[in-house]
Every structure is written in structure tokens, then in C-alpha cells.
A and B are shown apart, each in its own frame.
Chain A
Amino acid sequence: DADVTQTPRNRITKTGKRIMLECSQTKGHDRMYWYRQDPGLGLRLIYYSFDVKDINKGEISDGYSVSRQAQAKFSLSLESAIPNQTALYFCATSDIWDTQYFGPGTRLTVL
């Protein structure tokens, strides 16, 4: 079984809809991250969390919110999706050396 899982893997939604992307991990890491990947821009950090009570904004947090329900679960929400949020979204965890372990990604399309 994969150490970092994401659901859904693909999602098509309409402008203005609320959508939640979920991430679960079995690695036992405290640190979790959400990134988006756009062609030609690499990965950009949206939010990160060092434990259940610690949530921090990343480089591009506007239009997004997160919830850390447990050590193993970190969810990303788009309260009112817009087309320029169409992207590939990755969840990641990190170990004590800060090596990141990525989930398989969620491909989100906002029409």
C-alpha cells in the first residue's frame, strides 16, 4: 500500500463550487504539505503543517484553506473554485531530514 494517498485522483468541477482534496499518510510523519504544480512553474507551496495544531500559509495560499484532522490526515479546500486553480495538486510528508514523500497527485479541472 502507498505511504501517502490522495483522493480523488481526478476531479472536474465548475466555477464557484466548493471542493475538498484529501490526503492520508501512514509514514508517521508530523509534517505535511500541499503543493500545486503548473506546467513551467514547478511546484509551489500552498500550506504546510508541522502538527495538528500548527498550520502555516505557504507561497500561494490565497483561495485555499486546509484542515489537519489528525497526524495522518491533511485536507485542502477550495471554497469557491475558479478556473486558474486548474492544476495538479500534490500532498507530501517529510521526515527528520526534510526529505519529502509525495502522494500520487490529484488532477483538478475547474470549468
Chain B
Amino acid sequence: ELKVEQNPLFLSMQEGKNYTIYCNYSTTSDRLYWYRQDPGKSLESLFVLLSNGAVKQEGRLMASLDTKARLSTLHITAAVHDLSATYFCAVDKTGNQFYFGTGTSLTVIP
């Protein structure tokens, strides 16, 4: 069974600070996805990482993938309140099934 672990599960950070969310997975996969979910809302795609060493950036968020270490990171730079949400990573097994992490609930404090 493929396991996807995120840490931390809960993160409270001050505006302007930097932090990294980690996503580890238990089996070989070349594709990893990051999603954002606002409270009471659906999930929205943030990044698609399709190969080892892939790095994507959008605004204050940057995601990277190391398939050898089975690790993806989501780095937050100079956090702002609007980034408060739950962030999920997901791994694609054999191009058929997606396994999601348990999510990281981020709260940015003024």
C-alpha cells in the first residue's frame, strides 16, 4: 500500500516568515501534485511536478521534487494571511490512482 506522509500536520506561522512543508511517499513515482483547500471549499491545483528535480514557483510558493529520496517540499516565502489554508500533496501510482497525504493546515498570523 502506498503511503503519503506530510509534516507538519499543523503549522502556525507569522506573516513575513519562511517555512517548508514536507511530503514523503513510500513507493516509486515520478509525478507529484500539490493542492490547496480553503475552509469549506474544494481543492485547487497548485503544482504538478513530473520528473526528478522539478521545481515550480508561483508567487510565494515553491515546490520541488526529489524522486530518489521520495520527497517533495512546498516552501513558503514571506508568508501572508491569504496563504492560510490546508495543503495536500498527492502521488500518482501507475498513472491510475492518486494517493493523498493527510494535509497540512497552515495558519498565518498577522
Contact = CB atoms under 8 A, between A and B. Distances in A.
B33 interface: yes
Interface in B26-43: 31, 33, 35, 41-43
Majority secondary structure, B binding face? strand
A105 B50 CA distance: 27
Interface residues of A, number: 23
Given A42-B103, A43-B100, A90-B42, A97 B88 contact: no
B102 A42 contact: yes
Majority secondary structure, A binding face? strand
Nearest to B44: A102
B59 interface: no
B93 to A, nearest CB: 10
Interface of B: 4, 31, 33, 35, 41-45, 48, 50, 88, 90, 92, 95-103
